[in-house]
Structure 1
Amino acid sequence: MFVDGEGRVLASNGWGAGEAEASRLVAHPAVAKAISESLADNAARVEAVVVPEAASGGRVELTILPMGDGTSALVLGRNVVLEHNLRTALVESRQRYKDLVEISSDFAWETDAGGVFAFVSPQGALGYRAEELVGRPPSDFFVEEW
């Protein structure tokens, strides 16, 4: 959408929010502040804002591009609700896995892309403490043949 320095929507496309929704979004204090700061500096900016009443469900990433002499701006909005929810679910899942491994009596490990131990269950293994294993490749612990 195109907005002016007064926060009026000059134009919006039919792909995203309608003009009424765009006007409500621009009127939100966090959005209005981001637009006015971008216009004052005549510099592009990217802002993540939470607008609970937005059709997107609240989380919007805005790219604000001042046009010409800085009296108007092109504002591009991207719904980031799904991305936020997926990231939150991943963090929670990772924590549940970590909690499970920490109370398990089994040896659990994770290696990085280079094949080096990145995580070892707290009790360690093979007679080594976890901190002695992390950062080393499993091949360091192979028994040489006689």
Structure 2
Amino acid sequence: MVLTQVLLVAATLTSGLLAGVYLLYAHTVMPAMTLLPDEPAVAMFDALDRSIVNPVFIATAFLGAPVSTAAALATGWGDPSRWWVLAALVLHLVGTVVTAAVHLPRNDALKRMAGGDGRYAATTARAALEEATWVRWNLVRVVASVVAAACLGWALTLA
């Protein structure tokens, strides 16, 4: 019981961190990018994308949230909170699939094309990102991760 509660706290915290990252992109990063011309916008996004792939983010949020949620589910399968934890895990998996299917290919395309010289390379790189699609699907990740964190918060009250 204590292990499950500790894992639920960890899952809730890491889920909140993940939701915060996705929300920051939704309300700050991507709107700021729309205000910039192609070259600085591509440079900004490229730098952010290269920086975010680091052990701290991966361990505490991107993988930390679904892994700690799965661990909480496994240790607390008999608890009344299990359905809320299961819902959170499914929502995390949705966010992970969206990231893998939508965001990573676009981010990688931008990074590949960002290395060229001049305005044409930046314009091509920015087009590869498909900003409207990126933003739309990021909102799916925001909703999924916020609702997952809420499910885990509620599960804590039941555990």
TM-score w.r.t. length of structure 1: 0.28
Give the TM-score normalised by the residue count of structure 2.
Answer: 0.27
Looking at CA atoms only, which structure, 1 or 2, has the larger radius of gyration? 1
Bigger relative contact order (CA 8 A; separation at least 6): 2
